[in-house]
Structure 1
Amino acid sequence: MAEATYPPLDVLKPVAEGVWIVDSGPLRILGMPLPVRMTVIRLSDGSLWLHSPTRYDADLHRAIAALGPIRHLVAPNIAHWTFLKDWQTHCPEALTWAAPNLRQRGQVRRSGLKIDRELADASPPEWDADLRQIVVPGGLGFREVAFFHGRSRTLVLTDLVLNLEAAKMPALLRPVLRLAGMTAPDGKPPPYLRLVIKLRRAAAARAAADLVALNPAVVIFAHGLWFAQGGTERLRRSLRWLGDFS
Structure 2
Amino acid sequence: MPDSALTAVVDDEIWTLDRPVWFSGVRMRARTTVVRLDDGSLLLHTPAPPTDGLTEQLRALGPVRWLVVPNCWHHLGAPAAAAHFPDAKVVGPASALNRNKALKLHMDIHDAQFGEQVPEFEALPLQGVPFWDETVLYHRPTQTLLGADIVLCAGAKDHWTLRYAARITGFYERVRVPPDARKKIPDKAAAARSIRAMLERPAQRLIVGHADVIEEGWRDDLAQAWRLEGVKV
Give the TM-score, by structure 1 length.
0.85
Q: Displacement of 1:149 after TM fit?
A: 1.2
Residue 118 (structure 2) pairs with residue 127 (structure 1): yes
Secondary structure of the structure 1 residue equivalent to 2:202 = coil
User: Secondary structure of the residue that 2:96 maps to in structure 1?
Assistant: coil
Q: Which runs of 5+ in 1 are unaligned?
A: 1-6
Gaps of 5+ in 2: none
Q: Name the aligned partner's letter for residue 61 of structure 2.
A: L
Are 1:117 and 2:107 counterparts?
A: yes
Q: Give structure 1 regions of 4+ aligned residues with deviation exceeding 6 angstroms.
A: none
Amino acid at match of 1:183: Y
The share of aligned pairs that are identical, in percent, is 27
Change (3 A) 1:10 1:223: farther
Equivalent residue number for residue 17 of structure 2: 22
Report the Cα offset of residue 224 of structure 1.
Answer: 2.1
Question: Structure 1 residues 244, 93: closer, same or farther in 2, change over 3 A?
Answer: same
What residue is the counterpart of 1:4 in the other structure? none
Cα shift at 1:91:
0.4
Q: 2:34 matched to 1:47?
A: no
Tell me the residue number matched to 2:142.
152
- Whether the aligned pair in 2 keeps the contact of 1:166 and 1:177 (CA below 8 Å) is no
Cross-structure match for 1:181: 170
Question: 2:157 & 2:65 partners in 1: Cα distance?
Answer: 38
State the SS of the aligned residue for 1:89: helix
TM-score by length of 2: 0.89
1:83 pairs with one of 77, 83, 91: 77
Tell me if 1:64 matches 2:66: no
RMSD of aligned Cα (Å)? 2.1
What does the per-residue CA deviation read over 1:131-177, in whole Å, with 9 as the maximum and x for residues that have no partner?
A: 11101034555310101112211111100011111563427x64642
Change (3 A) 1:8 1:216: farther
Task: Read off the aligned partner of 2:225 and give its amino acid letter.
Answer: S
- Secondary structure of the corresponding residue to residue 55 of structure 2: helix
Question: After superposition, what is the alpha-carbon deviation per residue over 1:8-30, rounded to whole angstroms, capped at 9, x for unaligned?
Answer: 553211111411111111x1112
Cα distance between partner residues in 2 of 1:119 and 1:237? 27
Contact 1:217 / 1:232 at 8 angstroms: preserved in 2? no
Aligned-pair CA distance for 1:222? 0.6
Displacement of 1:232 in angstroms is: 2.5
CA contact (8 A) 1:100 1:120 kept: no
Q: Does the 8 Å CA contact 1:219/1:226 hold for their aligned counterparts? A: yes
